Amino acid sequence: MHITQLNRECLLHLFSFLDKNSRRSLAKTCHKLLEVFQDPVLWSLLNFHSPAELKKDNFLLGPALKYLSICWYSERVKVCNIEDWMKNSFQKDFCNSHENTVNDFLLEVCNRCPNLLSLTLSGCGHVTDECILLLLKNCPNLKTLKLENCVRITDQTLEAVTRYGRSLQRLHVDFCRNITQTGLERVREKRPSVTLRAERSANMIPDSKPEKKLMLEKASRKSVQL
């Protein structure tokens, strides 16, 4: 029996075992398999392992998406985690090449995936508070939000959770150095039903420019003298 003789249900089941690239390659062989590739039922879960994967045409983004993860564990993530004012020209050029990639993709998710239930971001050093706020607004059914090593995430995201995370049940903000204990306490106060985890985050040193650090040191010395 030829693969195209299988019914739609069998083909969908077959496609479900394939990765994104294999699905796309198979879809290019005939019109019938392309239709299977484009079936929203096939795309309820998406996993990405680098920003470059977000620009490929080997997946379908739509209302059927419920589980999304973008986890970048490359050594290059360390470059994105350096404070902006400390980056040299090479590091800035590297970051500029993909700085808006994840944010732009998440904006597409906001517009096209209102039924999203779970989002995991790890090593996404350029994701902003504004982007997460829009996602919370546009995906009202979101139950799980996991942010790890996302250095631009601040207490503004935690505030957005208290305002718009009505369905949220689980929040992780691990190794996000620019959130504070005050922000975490506010989430616990305003959203006591949310299971909150913040491994190392509030104990890490937040970003600040040299002049700001100098002012803080002077203020600290004055308080000691008093």
Q: Is the pLDDT of residue 226 over 70?
A: no
Domains 1-42 and 44-219 share a fold: no
Residue 84 backbone phi and psi in degrees, to 5:
-55, -40
* pLDDT score at 224: 47
Tens of pLDDT, residue by residue over 102-156, are: 999 999 999 999 999 999 999 998 999 999 999 999 999 999 999 999 999 999 9
DSSP for 5-60, written as a single string: GS-HHHHHHHHTTS-HHHHHHHHTT-HHHHHHHT-GGGGSEEEESSGGGGGSSSS-
Tens of pLDDT, residue by residue over 166-202, are: 999 999 999 999 999 999 999 999 999 999 999 988 8
Domain limits of the chain? 1-42, 44-219
Q: Going by C-beta distance under 8 Å and a sequence separation of 6 or more, which residues neighbour residue 187?
A: 158, 161, 162, 171, 194, 196
* pLDDT score at 211: 60
* pLDDT score at 94: 75
* CB-based burial label for 220 (10 Å; 0-12, 13-18, 19+): exposed
Tens of pLDDT, residue by residue over 5-45, are: 899 999 999 999 999 999 999 999 999 999 999 999 999 99
* pLDDT score at 217: 53
What region does 175 belong to: left with phi over 0, alpha with psi -120 to 50, or beta? left
* CATH entry 1.10.3470 includes domain 1-42: no
* pLDDT score at 3: 87
For 44-219, the fitting CATH number among 3.90.1150.10, 3.40.630.30, 3.60.15.10, 3.80.10.10 is 3.80.10.10
Tens of pLDDT, residue by residue over 44-103, are: 999 999 988 999 999 999 999 999 999 998 777 777 777 777 778 877 787 777 889 999
